[in-house]
Amino acid sequence: MQGLTIKRETEFVFGRKCLATLTVFRRSNNQDKHTEFTEATRHISTDLPPSSGQATMSLLSLGCFLAVAGQVYMAAVPENQVEVYFVMDQAVVRKYIADSDGDKAAALATIEKDTDYFISEINKLFEKIPNFSIGIMKRGFQILDEDILQGPEVQRDVGLKIFDEWREKQGLYNKFKYDVAVLWTGFQLVRGGNPATAGYANVGKACDSALSSLIAEFDLTYNTVVVTAHEIGHCLGSNHDSDSLRRVMGAEAYAGSENRWSFSTESAAGIQSNIGSLATNCLLETSPESKYVEATLPKDLTDPDHICRRAENNKDSYMIKSQTYYEMQPPHGDLVCRAIFCYNGEPDSSEAAYASDGMICAKNKRCKEGLCIDAPDAESEAVADNECVFKDQAHVDIAGFTGTCGKLISKFGKRVCYYYKSMCCETCNAYASDDPDCKFGDKSGKCAGKEQWSVCGGSAATCCELCKGYQGKRSAPGNGTQAVQPDQPPASNMAKQEKVIPLDD
């Protein structure tokens, strides 16, 4: 492991910043713990600046070590620290107020929690850039008193130019000396009338006080993390990846991508080259007002139905829980950690939305970078059944029927659970029997009204409830030869759409 780089802003580096990043590196092997501890203290001792006469701090404080439950944690301060100033327009605030049923105070409280979570997640993406030490810090955050853009649609280049002019007029850089400025907007960014764009940035202009800026759509979901990180990557000097693997700097974004949590070596090299060519690398100078943000997942972003309402900007949206959307499995595990599918308000249609890192995905498990990993806590432990992690689908749209799961079963019978249990798992579980071969009774409506002798000789598996305890008789007319086929599942009216969005050009 490389030694820590200690800046001369001693009080800041060994105070708030280190404490905010104490869990960056973790060693579980006892021997490694001792080695890391020894090496780090040696580097800290040699890297410290000459005494300034100020009160000194303990060596362990300087090294940012923390012993918790027998584990030693060590934080490495990134060599390059990007101080980002975030600005949010009123168009975003209006979305939050609508999401909070008109309660502005509640909306503002939610904004604070959500933005800190998003910023912390953006930093996690940059921490993993290969072969380059970099972190994203929060230099500041403000909400505009009034919109500087005019919606509902904004030409992306025009919007960024307006933001740059506003920054200059406000003297924003002179006040905060940030490395990159971000405008989060609730308006739809367009390119020549085409809405298929989500952000725009001045490429390679970090540390340029006039042009170190970007604009990104803010949709109140994890998509905001992906888009903002992508545009910051442009500011730092990365172009789009040349491959189609849809990593952070891919030209297209798709919620279901398995690679959206990583930068390619190609984009890392672009950032490193651009920063290395700067006459003055502003990322090496850090304000004591900047901080790394550590935040937990806000409650609203743990609920897939709420995520869908936000993603689609539609109070009537909800998570589609049909197994046909999740590789013929009930929605849980790794698949829901990449994307969830939402009713988008259009007839017979749905779209993929970004799942939140930290969302519960199974009993004692939560999502982390597309995987459903062990994370036991009281909330995840409360999941009773991995086939019913998210309870019933809010509304069901099948064969002309629209309504709740309870009403669906009232109309079609409990046998509908044989093929739609993933959508109505909670309601179906209430009807389930202990017989694995006849869990929801007869598998065909044609079994009703039949005599056992007429069907059970050849269709006992289909009419399993009717035929329980049946013993055939040689004298039975026709000897029960009438065949009854299981009902075909009612056709779903919902079509799966995997929406791919060009991020910025």
226, 354 Cβ separation under 8 angstroms: yes
Sign of the Cα torsion 261, 264, 270, 271 reads positive
Catalytic residues: 231
Residue with tokens 């308000």: 345
Q: How many distinct helices (H) and strands (E) make up the chain?
A: 17, 20
d(CA 197, CA 187): 12
pTM of this prediction exceeds 0.85? no
For residue 200, which of 148, 158, 139, 167 has the smallest C-alpha distance?
Answer: 158
Domain limits, the chain: 10-74, 80-295, 299-443+487-500, 450-486
Annotated binding site: 230, 234, 240
Annotated binding site for Zn(2+): 230, 234, 240
d(CA 285, CA 306): 40
What pairs with residue 153 in β-bridges?
Answer: 188
| Total number of residues shown for the chain | 505
Residue with tokens 């060994």: 14
CATH architecture of 80-295: 3-Layer(aba) Sandwich (3.40)
In a structure prediction context, what are the per-residue pLDDT tens digits for the chain, which is 505 residues long? 322 222 323 222 333 333 333 333 322 333 332 323 223 332 333 333 443 444 444 443 444 443 333 333 445 678 999 999 999 999 999 999 999 999 999 999 999 999 999 999 999 999 999 989 999 999 999 999 999 999 899 999 999 999 999 999 999 999 999 999 999 999 999 998 777 789 999 999 999 999 999 999 999 999 999 999 999 999 999 999 988 889 999 988 888 888 899 999 999 999 999 999 998 999 999 999 999 999 999 999 999 999 999 999 999 999 999 998 999 999 999 999 999 999 988 766 789 999 999 999 999 999 999 999 999 999 999 999 999 999 999 999 887 788 999 999 999 899 999 989 999 999 999 999 999 999 999 999 999 888 998 889 889 999 999 999 888 765 455 555 577 888 877 666 555 555 555 566 5
